[in-house]
Amino acid sequence: MGHLKTYPNLVVMHPFSKAYALVGARLGILAAAPLRKILPPYPLAIPSVYAALRALFSFVLILDEGANPRGEGRAGEVGSSAECLA
């Protein structure tokens, strides 16, 4: 992410696919220089937002504990979108 200051036109996209166990969620992260205010072409579904936040929070907890984020039991640690609504 350090290259964003050097290259003002650089855009880094990271989908929440297998790494976060959210293959069908159609969510991801976009890192770039400040963007103009834009209106997304479609609304975000609340269950998808909860699932993404849960996946990111769980991933941070796993890294803080020193665990291997791609290790055994990874999908169970992140949880499903159904658990996010509980």
Contacts of 68 (CB under 8 A, 6+ apart): none
> What are the beta bridge partners of residue 31?
12
10 pLDDT higher than 80: yes
Q: DSSP assignment of 26-81, as one string?
A: --EEEEESPPPP---SSPPPHHHHHHHHHHHHHHHHHHHTT--TTSTTHHHHH--H
pLDDT in tens, 47-79: 878 887 887 777 655 555 555 555 554 444 444
Is the pTM higher than 0.75? no
